[in-house]
Structure 1
């Protein structure tokens, strides 16, 4: 446990003194500092007057309840994480808490181990958010122009220094391409070389002659670096730029008059130098002596320019000196400098050939100490790595949460259908029970008649049977209606057999519907089977509302997760039934389910003659938690989960169409060949 977490203060809000005491004990054992409040108002007052790192908030309290307090915290103390605690397992309440910004939702009694993990995770995430906020402030206040583009080169972020330098506001710049600054002074090949470098995953460093919004021309030095996502693909580019217009003017002034060189050189904030044709230093300004630790006496004795660079850079320096003297352009201007005392520091050197009468006689240059910039680059790289790691972690967490939402939606659907399934099973069970009661009476009557026959048989052994006794036996047969009884028994058994078969069918469909494969497992499955099982399971949802017609072609199997696909069919059928129910019509509606296939996909359409979907609603039906149903009728997750299952997890399509004559047609497709790579939202 880190030192920050040990000092964390956890506010426990609960109207029960016993729960406050027991939770405080757990928090103290975890090494944190517990603080308690018995109502919502006390909680808000403590947050306004004390430093609170985490809130454990009970939902049901007198006065302000937990949901109201949560809303206040999100409005005024956004960075403080809140863990909601309730004695109810109401899924809608949990979903609403998370939507309002709660970190987690726990059910009483809270397991200490679960509480420990949740508290530590919440504090860790809060710490990361504070770091991100700090890094964001650093970038925002940086005097260096920072811009981030997408992989097409369009601006997604610029810091205030960008606006100060270019004259374009943040709103004016976002979405635009940096070519809005292009002056036209540099050839297209220059920009092509830049683009080739960064799209190859390399860092580009160079200069631009650009035009500000007001038309003013300026020079800027730029470093452009690609940013890759977790797959290694380039997702963005970040550029660090510095206005070097003044430096350019100074370099031009130095080239204009050699007589003014000495005076101007000592005024520059960077070391400047001159080399002869052998590469020996013949001049440097005062900052040159200070930066490298040499004296004027050393210079008079002779100092080779190579002595100012670490050994591994000297070959490059020699090559660049040769290139400069031959007037051959080169891009590598960065080196590691070596001071007289043996210490090193990064530098950027700009050079120019010195001509006398059109003949090169040496090289003149300027040295920039880029230690701060290098450190800033390293910090930015570390920041990017931390951000990418956090994005990967949050992506994994969101995937787990999404799978939990899918399971919860399925459980909610099963719970909604439970009463209907019980009713479907109860009908055949009832007539089997009635048939067995009837059989029990018939068997009792046959037993009575059999006893009479046995008595007659015993009497026949001793003497002939009298006509009175025979008549009595005939009357017993008539009173028991033996002929009708014998005729009805086979029919009763046949009817009972049909009841057993109906029960077996329903249970089989329930077993198929509830069977669990792994989340990412794919097996060959005929969707016609899934549709039939779904209609059996959901029969009580639509039987009194609509007549269902199926037009199922013989289909090839598709690689899919059967339970997820069955959940989609269930959502579509139940939604159609609810749409028809919302019209309160006297006659039943119609639901038609049709399947077909082509060379690449299998298709299924669910058509109803309900009220249809208005265009403004149709655009949002696949959004999570969006619903037009009455409270308690739906979670708003059915169609969004169905879209995720079909499109993202199986690479299919899910489309909605409302014909002019009314009703709704929802069509899905699933590929006949399994996706090679799963696409996440």
Structure 2
């Protein structure tokens, strides 16, 4: 086009160019040797959005529009193809650039520039021809953006921690991400072309599979949990979402399954449930013990009268020698009363913490077990650590009692923290030369002890509440969140071994509860 125009310009005067310009489908602009526009056709005026009069005499720098490079950055006026041609004498071919009007979307053009020389070879003017390629540019930009999105989506799927499986309509696997291969222990090559049934564990019923297929074949998404097996036989509990993928006509062509391994979460929930049941059972037993203790004392008074008067009656009747049958009846009454007294003694013993089972407690082992149990009940914002002196001797205390003491203290610490924090369980030797006061029994003490301490970073305990901490049923927790028996149990079990309890707390900074068991209970020579 530029060569054709150059030939025409050489055979025609410039005044004759308007009719020719106006029938061209490309925009054409002629500039003089100084870069000023001296002619333009209707297409050029339409693309620029300016009239012939507004264009005439303008240079690339003075035009009321901005020029853009192909990447959208600003194009300097001296880099306009016409200016480059005037400066270098070289034609420019296929340059992509934009014309930006204030407040409007840019118009994109493809520009060619050609120098025009006089008879002695001096460049006297330059002609530029350009086509509006805005629709093409926008389509290319959209295509590039779509490619970027597709690459991002592909990378996100490939790097996802969830297993992603894409199958055809018949259930043949066409894609798996690396997380899927890692979870099940198969290579990508082994899974492509296989069916998801390769993961079956035998624990998901046929009814569940039928429900899944019945849902997705109707174009709906199925969500649920399934049990699958990895290549090495490991059982995996998964949260699964299977969705249909439709083509342009709306027909289901593929299915995509997203799977998240929730095995650990379900195991934690199971352990948490077991722990809650264990704690609830302990609290219920303590409640029964408290009630039984109260009843037992009153019933003991009644039994004392029954046993006393039956003894007197039996003695009198035997001395009289008459009514031997009545003597037998009285003796039966006294025997029944004695059995009732033995039952009451058992209830009172239970109220005091139960019978002590002979044996030794391995404090380190029990501490690790209790911390492990508690850890399963904690949210992600809480941590629990054990800091137990490793060379502690075995402890001549019923292991069940040590377990109960630690667990009750840890549960109280857990409930005291409302945000992020750490609970610490420690066990070590401790000596007190100065007189101390027990915060539960109020007695003074000093000497050598084994100190079991649980520290939290909760809100602390107010002075008015500290006075009632060890009273049965007293609690500062919300309704339904505690029975108020935890520290009462700790008090009972600790004092069963002539131990004591100390509490240190500061509002807003946390609490430390320390159980002190006499050092004489340590079995020197036997590591715990």
Q: Which has the higher helix share?
A: 1
TM-score, normalised via structure 1 length: 0.27
Q: Which has the higher strand share?
A: 2
TM-score, normalised via structure 2 length: 0.34
Say which one has the larger Rg: 2
Structure scoring higher RCO (CA < 8 A, sep ≥ 6) equals 2
